[in-house]
Amino acid sequence: MKPTSFCSNSAETLPSVVKKIRNFVENEVIPQESLLAKNDQSELLALKEKAKRMGLYGNFYPEKLGGKFSRLTDYLPLAEEESRSEYGPMIFGSESTLDIHMLNHYADEAVKLNYLESLASGNIVASYAMTEPGTCGSIPDTLRATAQLKEGYWQINAKKWFICRADRAQLVAVVVCTGDESVPVSQRLSVLIVPADAEGFHIVGKNKIFGQHQGQCELELNNVMVPENFMLGGKGEGMAVIEQRLNFGRVLRSTYWLGLAQRCFDMMCYRLQTERNKAIGLADKQLIRQHVVKVYQALVGSRSLIYRAASELDNHLPADIAVKVAKLSTSQTLSLAVDSAIQIYGAEGVSEQTPLASIYQLARTTRILDGADEALISSVGKRLLNEYSDKHQEYSDKTKPTCKTTPIYKTPPISETPAISEKACIS
């Protein structure tokens, strides 16, 4: 099979960059995880700068900002390698990938000029504020944040919480209501860009996760004023922006979780092959082998589902079901992988001697993040059953895609980019 080509600004092949990323994570990042876990910003910055010098930063940014890929399926093998460490997305700039594409696709040209280069260089960080206290999670119908247009400025009043990266973000995309309740929710919401240093913007609390602060914060915006053009999309187009962000973001995050799950699997298998465990024949036990097989099966299945979802996004096909199923599967896979690895490591697995305890905490949050399991299962189940309804049209007609979607990243014609083998991302 011919290697997948990069964009014109890189002559390297996919396997060569995958190998570079793997070596960087194994030799540069993982040895420093104990320092990074203590929020050592100097070490984090040093690793980020080294990744930039080696050309390993911002791999799926738009091409004009240095990105190497134009198709999501091409980026997935690298995304998985970048995220073998929890700190990889920060070091390789991939934590900003979604925000950069959203601005590049939806923002006003003046807003792009102000912020895109700084985001892509890593000089600033962006965040996304949707969830509100006292509402039903992220259900759009229940949002209370408002923005009113006054003399060329949006006046924003909002309370948001559990906002990732809010403690270090210089820019926040805030979901608000720009229409009253008489307007359908599909036309009521908008997404505004708010600088974190704007007057009236306050971090009023830190939302701890399992007793530890991990960057999530509670925000209050009191009469914050931003220019009329500081909007993603147009007024009332927030639902379309949110849905694009969710689909793209779920695939990216699922791939990051898969990278962590693969590392947990690797750690478990290497542990079973140590001299101490060989001496007691631990790897010969059937229940131990069951751990190995079940996690391997889950990894292969989730990887396939992620590729399917990414391929549908690349090819402008309806991807909602594929994305949700991939997210559900990968969340379960990460939970299974880290739990199994901890079981093999014993007490050491729940201590600070390994990264497993921290990954375990993250794994539990994935069942809530970007849509709770129950909400996604209910949505997908309803859609699947509706495919078999005979009330309106024949089954054969309904199983065909009825519409196309345009991804927020630009893709070349299919013929220009050979399909990538799944083997490329299996270590």
In a domain, 333, yes or no: yes
What is this structure's pTM?
Answer: 0.89
In a domain, 82, yes or no: yes
Number of domain units in the chain: 3
The domain in which residue 194 lies consists of: 126-232
In a domain, 267, yes or no: yes
For position 390, what pLDDT does the model report?
60
CA gap 380, 106 in Å, rounded: 28
* CATH number, position 148: 2.40.110.10
CA gap 407, 249 in Å, rounded: 12
Task: Name 267's Cβ contacts closer than 8 Å, sequence gap at least 6.
Answer: 341, 345, 354, 356
Q: In this structure, are 83 and 200 located in the same domain?
A: no
What DSSP string describes 10-27?
Answer: ----HHHHHHHHHHHIII
Question: Domain ends where: 92, 121, 150?
Answer: 121
In a domain, 196, yes or no: yes
Q: Which of 368, 325, 407, 360 is nearest to 131 (CA)?
A: 368
In a domain, 8, yes or no: no
Question: Domain ends where: 211, 232, 253?
Answer: 232
In a domain, 270, yes or no: yes
Task: Name 9's Cβ contacts closer than 8 Å, sequence gap at least 6.
Answer: 63, 66, 68
Q: In this structure, are 75 and 39 located in the same domain?
A: yes
Q: Pairing between strand 231-232 and 189-195? A: antiparallel
* CATH number, position 95: 1.10.540.10
Q: In this structure, are 281 and 405 located in the same domain?
A: yes
Q: In this structure, are 295 and 421 located in the same domain?
A: yes
| Residue 172 DSSP SS3 | strand
Please list the pLDDT of the chain residue by residue as tens digits (427 residues).
233 444 445 567 889 999 999 999 999 999 999 999 988 899 999 999 999 999 999 999 999 999 998 899 999 999 999 999 999 999 999 999 999 999 999 999 999 999 999 999 999 999 999 999 988 866 788 899 999 999 999 999 999 999 999 999 999 999 999 988 888 888 999 999 999 999 999 999 999 998 888 889 999 999 999 999 999 999 999 999 999 999 999 999 999 999 999 999 999 999 999 988 888 889 999 999 999 999 999 999 999 999 999 999 999 999 999 999 999 999 999 999 999 999 999 999 999 999 999 999 999 999 998 889 999 999 999 999 988 886 555 555 555 555 556 677 776 654 444 443 433 333 3
Q: In this structure, are 272 and 347 located in the same domain?
A: yes
Q: In this structure, are 330 and 347 located in the same domain?
A: yes
* CATH number, position 350: 1.20.140.10
Q: In this structure, are 113 and 132 located in the same domain?
A: no
What does the block give as tokens for 100? Answer: 């950069």
Question: Domain ends where: 121, 154, 174?
Answer: 121
| Residue 152 DSSP SS3 | coil
For position 186, what pLDDT does the model report?
83
Q: In this structure, are 288 and 219 located in the same domain?
A: no
User: How far is C-alpha 216 from the chain's CA centre?
Assistant: 15
> Which runs of E-coded beta strand occur in 164-304?
171-177, 189-195, 201-209, 212-227, 231-232
CA gap 84, 87 in Å, rounded: 8
For position 3, what pLDDT does the model report?
35
Q: What single-letter DSSP state applies at residue 346?
A: G
CA gap 25, 92 in Å, rounded: 10
What DSSP string describes 123-147?
Answer: SS-EEEE---TTSSTT-GGG---EE
Task: Name 385's Cβ contacts closer than 8 Å, sequence gap at least 6.
Answer: none
Q: Which of 423, 413, 165 is nearest to 300 (CA)?
A: 423
Q: In this structure, are 117 and 136 located in the same domain?
A: no
In a domain, 307, yes or no: yes
In a domain, 5, yes or no: no
For position 402, what pLDDT does the model report?
54
Q: In this structure, are 29 and 106 located in the same domain?
A: yes
Q: In this structure, are 225 and 250 located in the same domain?
A: no
Phi/psi of residue 153, each to 5°? -130, 145
Q: What burial class does residue 342 get, using C-beta atoms within 10 Å of its C-beta: 0-12 exposed, 13-18 middle, 19+ buried? A: buried
Q: Which of 244, 246, 313 is nearest to 105 (CA)?
A: 244
Q: In this structure, are 341 and 383 located in the same domain?
A: yes
